[in-house]
Amino acid sequence: MGRTNDLITAHDIVKKYQLSYQTLNYYTSIGLLSVVKKASNQRLYHEPEIRQRLRKITQLKNKGYPLQLIRRVLSSREFRRLG
């Protein structure tokens, strides 16, 4: 996966990538984003993966793709191979 210093908290994602907590929670709940570790009362995500996935989500949303199709694209073998 990556080094420990590649991890980012939900709070930091919200600030750095200008998402609302509701959006982050929704994307996580439908499988667009994945929590890699829970520590204390924090969810930790792998930042390089978050950066790549949020970029792709934004591109596809701007083209009018629904989130369910975006989820399929992100979970495809092709996307994982490129990432």
At residue 78, the pLDDT reads 64
Which residue type does 40 have? S
pLDDT for 76:
85
When divided into structural domains, the chain yields a total of: 1
CA distance 31 to 26: 9
Q: CA angle 26-28-30, nearest 5°?
A: 70
pLDDT of residue 80: 62
* Mean pLDDT confidence for 4-22: 94
Residue 8 pLDDT: 97
User: How does pLDDT run across 36-80, given as a tens digit for each residue?
Assistant: 999 888 999 999 999 999 999 999 999 999 999 999 999 887 676
Q: Give the Cα separation of 23 and 50 in Å (integer).
A: 13
Which residue range(s) make up the domain with 78? Answer: 4-82
CB atoms closer than 10 angstroms to residue 2: 11
Which residue reads 């204390």 in tokens?
A: 40
pTM of the shown model: 0.85
Indicate which CATH number applies to the domain containing 49: 1.10.1660.10
In this predicted structure, the answer to whether residue 1 has a pLDDT above a threshold of 60 is no
Quote the pLDDT of residue 3.
62
DSSP 33: S
